[in-house]
Chains A and B, each alone.
Chain A
Amino acid sequence: MEAGLDWAAVLIAALLYLSALFAIAHWADRREAAGRSVIASPTVFALSLGVYCTTWTFYGSVGRAATLGIGFLPVYLGPTLLMLLAPLLLRKILRIAKAQRITSIADFLASRYGHSPLLGGLVALTATLGVTPYIALQLKAVAVSFDALTGGGLGTSTGPFLDQGFLIAAVMALFAIVFGARQIDAAEHHPGMVAAIALESLVKLVAFLAVGIFVVWGLHGGLDSLFAAASTRPDLARLMGSEAALGDPASGGGPWGAWVATTILSAAAMLCLPRQFQVMVIESTDERHLDRAIWLFPLYLLLINLFVLPVTLSGLLTFGGGKDPDLFMVALPLNGGAGWLAMLAFLGGLSAAAGMIVVETVALSTMLCNDLVMPILLRTRSRALARSADLAPLLLAVRRIAIVTILLFGYGYFRLAGSAYALVSIGLISFAAVAQFAPALIGGLYWRGATRRGAIGGVAAGALVWAYTLLLPSFARSGWLPSSFITEGPWGIAALRPYALFGLEGWDSLAHSLFWTALANIGAYVGLSLFDRQSAAERVQAAAFVDVFHSAPDGAMPTPAAQSDWRSAASVGDLTRVVARFLGPHRAGRAFNGADPDEPAGPERLRLAERLLAGAIGGASARVALASSVSAGAVEAAELLRMLDETNDVIAHSRELERKTAELERATDALRAANLRLTELDRLKDDFLSTVTHELRTPLTSIRALSEILHDDPELDSEQRQEFLAVIIKESERLTRLINQVLDMAKIEAGALDWRIETIDAGQALTEAVAATEALFRERGIALSVDMPERLPPVRGDVDRVIQVAVNLLSNAAKFTPPGGRTRLTARLEDGVLRVAVIDSGPGVPVKDRDLVFDRFRQSGNTLTGKPAGTGLGLAIAKRIVEHLGGRIGVADAPAGPAAESGTGTSFWFTLPLAVSPSGQGAGEPPVVDRKID
């Protein structure tokens, strides 16, 4: 057997290490003060979450693995699962905690449920009862590992108050007081503490990995040989299968209970343990740090658990049953002759204990001070408190006393319980205790209707059932209660057996307790909330929590209208006094800088004071303190609180209103735009109708006038008559053309036109168009020339429509070209399309009109004086046809040349796609009948 190290050397090393932690914490505090924070880093944040791993991980996992195989793992899989939900759950909690200046989980719950001091106190008390024994376990682990390392050199024989447990408790109390309870504002960060925790997390990880590597490769020559050696022993082979962890599948009846229950409880504990809430929520400097912690913290958990089973197997192979498996981490290196490694392992365990103790006591002391002691003091000693000008020393004293008390309590429990079952099993029992906060915590984030009474009922019921099904039986198993309490039930009532409540037998005790506590807790929480009515304060806080992502930033708050109500209430001087009392005159002066002390405080200043106080003494106490602040007689305290609630209510409502208004505005804008568009369309339709009717009336009028003359005056000479009849015929033709075009246009726009798109010979179509218009040009004395190659490549289009377009452009040219002018039709290949142009020597189209000539009823030239020469629809139809055929249409100046001798000249052009595209597609396609436009 190993000799062990010199106890003095170990003690000095431990003290040196703890001093180093003090130095690190001090350095981090200094850096923070200098504005160069070390904790504002996602990696430090993720490492500080490692405070989850206590000595229960460092030493205890090996012990659990010795009986459960991989059954120790759910404790780490639960938090891994929870971290995956961080984007949903933790981000919201972090945001709320920042907005509300939350100081602890008790404060969080109290604030959510209408600043309820009762709920805050209940949570603080439950957490303290559930977790303080856990601190005792840390002290015990350090003491026992110290003994294992030194071979019991110091032992417990040196008197009850001089053992290692007391020593470590004292050092930790000092650390917690110096770095955890130095400033009043508990909502602010403790950079020194967090930096030390992060370093400790690193040390325990390195220590565990070092021991693991030494054991596997140093003592056994590799993983496979270790497992091979272990598998020859049936008792060890059992640990490598699923039977030890999950129970025997063949036996039936809840074999999975322990595994699943431990996973759920660990996930809940990761969220609800006071120390986890402290490092994860209160100490968080930036919610974006979560993004890295989501994978880095689970990775940390994985690494620190990697060698648990190998170390366990090696310990059992080496020592058999002759040594407590909890101490393998120290005993194995010592036995292997690596004293320094045993020392490192001890320091790793010390880190795990120190981190847990410090953060847990700081978190608990904040809770006890803000949610238990201060509300009581403010209620019972309000007069004495009011006389004191500066309560900051009192607050700090309460917290420090709480720290010392918690540690003394923990130490006492350690001395008292020793190796009793109640201490050994406390890990999961504390998890189950704090898990009672989870329903109210998570429900409060998403369920607006959850009420204060529901939350109090849920936590209380859950805590009572927890005490009955886990805590009391653990006392019984420690021998403090008769064992018949477990086996026969209290007073022999079998239905009340704590491990088989109401006859629910065959369950793992943890799963059994989880089921009953969840039933009582969630049942009371939901049941009471459903049949309860929220007060104004609860409604405000419920909205502030549930809608934290929707509310406006604090600066953009509207001023409540009920300003006049506040005239008679607190003055600025009152508020300054009460804030100074808790936060010191410096802070108060800064907050209400420059305001006249006699001025009425007004709702905004009151809210500011509430926020400041909440950061120091918690939400529930802040309200009581505010109420006590008002100078006697000015206003009743209850009245003041009512006003504060109403202000908050008004603000919450106006935020809601603001949001609704913004939404309404957006909807109105959209409606307005739609309406505008409709009006425009309507106007266009009206324009179209009036233009069409106008265009129809003009020829009709002349037809009618002339036919009336013919009818009334039979004496008209035949030459005159002939002339009139010619005009009538011409106008009728124009009318027919116009109606045809309107119908065409309507068909095109309705998509009802029949298209027959196929491969056509463009040359032929253009020749036909020229033939149809030749007479027109001749009549007006215009020279028409055609300029196109002998053979044009085939194009895709509808022959009739292409002719229609060409005829339209040609007849336009005939109309606008003055007699004696020239018109030229050209067609040629250009950029893979056929480009057809009609170039005339007319007056041209002004540049500003060029976009408009293709609109309906737009005619170039002076429409006021000159009689329109066309219907105004021709070009619009042409444009639609060409675009439907996949081409483009436009107008340009005529190219300089023989065509442009007189006037500036115009070139109307359009393009048609070739039947054979460059890629060879579309050749020889059968005709397509296409009824669709656009």
Chain B
Amino acid sequence: MSAPDPTPGHQAGSGRYRDRMIGLFLLAAALFNPPLLGLFGVKGTILGVPALYGWVFGIWVAVIALAAIAGRAR
């Protein structure tokens, strides 16, 4: 059944926004966990920061930015 969503201000593009966030969740869940995460447990540094540390925080920033953009682009 497809009754219209009665939330004011949430009708337009709400479904797409929700789907995008679910997609972002799946992407982030894959990136934040092994085995992908383990691939970055290499020696060496990025800009003086250990690779793994830089990777996790870099992905984290990207995920937050995408979430903010998705909310705005709705």
Chain B count of residues within 8 A CB distance of the other chain: 42
Q: Nearest Cβ in chain B — how far from A228, in angstroms?
A: 7
Per the CB 8 Å criterion, the residue count for chain A at the interface is: 45
Would you call B6 and A243 a contact (CB within 8 A)? no
* Min CB–CB distance B6 → chain A (angstroms): 7
Q: Tell me the bound Cα distance from A549 to B15 in angstroms.
A: 13
Residues 21-42 (chain B) with a chain A CB within 8 angstroms: 21-22, 24-25, 28-29, 32-35, 37-38, 40-42
- Chain B residues near A263: list those with CB within 8 A: 32-33
Please determine whether A259 and B34 come into contact, CB atoms closer than 8 angstroms.
yes
B25 CB, nearest partner CB in chain A, Å: 4
Q: If A84-B21, A549-B6 touch, does A241 touch B50 (CB 8 Å cutoff)?
A: yes
B50–A227 contact, CB under 8 A?
yes
Asked, given contacts A223-B49, A246-B38, whether A302 binds B71 with beta carbons under 8 Å apart, the answer is: no
Contacts of B63 in A (CB 8 A): 80, 84, 298
Instruction: State how many angstroms separate the Cβ of A81 from the closest Cβ of chain B.
Output: 6
A86 and B18 CA atoms in complex are apart in Å by: 9
- A260 touching B33 in the complex, CB below 8 Å, given contacts A87-B17, A295-B64: yes
B1 at the interface (CB under 8 A from A): yes
Assess A227 versus B45: contact at CB under 8 Å? Given A256-B33, A294-B67, A295-B64.
yes
Report which of B1, B3, B18, B71 forms a contact with A88, defined as CB distance below 8 A: B18
Find residues 496-551 in chain A having any chain B CB closer than 8 Å to their own CB. Answer: 549-550
Residue-wise, chain B 33-74 has the 8 Å CB interface mask toward A (1 for contact) of 111011011110101111011001100110111011001000
Q: Which residue on B lies nearest to A73, using beta carbons?
A: B56
CB distance from B56 to the nearest CB of A (A): 6
The reply to whether A240 and B52 form a contact with Cβ atoms under 8 Å apart is yes
Q: A70 touching B34 by the CB < 8 A rule?
A: no
Query: In the docked arrangement, what's the CA distance between A246 and B33, Å?
Result: 9
Complexed CA–CA distance, A298 and B56 (Å): 13
Write out, one digit per residue, whether chain A residues 289-305 have a CB within 8 A of any chain B CB (1) or not (0): 00110110011001000
- Take A249-B38, A256-B34 as given contacts and tell me if A309 and B24 are in contact as well, using a CB distance cutoff of 8 Å: no
Interface flags for A75-91 (1: CB within 8 Å of B; 0: not) read: 00100110111111000
Is A772 in the interface zone, CB < 8 Å from B? no
Contacts of B50 in A (CB 8 A): 227, 231, 240-241
Instruction: Report the Cα distance A288→B28, complex, angstroms.
Output: 23
CA–CA, A84 to B53, complex, Å? 22
Question: Is A298's CB under 8 angstroms from B71's CB?
Answer: no
- Dominant SS at the B interface? helix
Contacts of A598 in B (CB 8 A): none
A667 to chain B, nearest CB (A): 12
Scan A230-247; emit 1 where CB is below 8 A from any B CB, else 0.
010000000011110110
Cα–Cα, bound, A549→B63 (Å) = 28
B34: A residues at CB distance < 8 A = 246, 255-256, 259-260
What's the Cα separation between A511 and B29 when bound, in Å? 17
A74 to B32, CA, bound (A): 8
Report the nearest B residue to A263, measured CB to CB.
Answer: B33
Q: Which B residues are CB-close (under 8 A) to A309? A: 53
Cβ distance B31 to chain A, nearest Cβ, rounded Å? 10
Question: Cα distance A83–B24 when bound, in Å?
Answer: 11
A184 to chain B, nearest CB (A): 30
Tell me whether B67 and A298 are in contact (CB under 8 A).
yes
**Residues of chain A contacted by B29 (CB below 8 angstroms):** 81
Whether B48 pairs with A228 at a CB distance below 8 angstroms is yes
CB-contacts of A206-238 with B (<8 A): 222-224, 227-228, 231
| A227-B50, A240-B52, A242-B52 known; A298+B9 contact, CB < 8 A | no
- Kindly state the separation between the CA atoms of A84 and B40 in the bound complex, as whole angstroms: 24
One of A70, A74, A87, A246 near B18 (C-beta < 8 A): A87
What residues make up the interface of A, taking CB atoms closer than 8 Å to B? Answer: 69-70, 73-74, 77, 80-81, 83-88, 222-224, 227-228, 231, 240-243, 245-246, 249, 255-256, 259-260, 263, 288, 291-292, 294-295, 298-299, 302, 306, 309, 549-550, 659, 663
B contact residues vs A (CB 8 Å cutoff): 1, 3, 5-7, 9, 14, 17-18, 21-22, 24-25, 28-29, 32-35, 37-38, 40-43, 45, 47-50, 52-53, 56-57, 60-61, 63-65, 67-68, 71
10 A-B interface contacts by CB (under 8 A): A86-B21, A88-B22, A223-B49, A224-B49, A227-B50, A256-B38, A295-B64, A295-B65, A295-B67, A549-B7
Apart from the given pairs A227-B48, A549-B6, 15 other A-B contacts in the complex at a CB distance below 8 Å: A81-B25, A85-B22, A86-B21, A87-B17, A88-B21, A223-B49, A227-B50, A228-B48, A241-B52, A245-B41, A260-B33, A294-B67, A302-B57, A550-B1, A659-B3
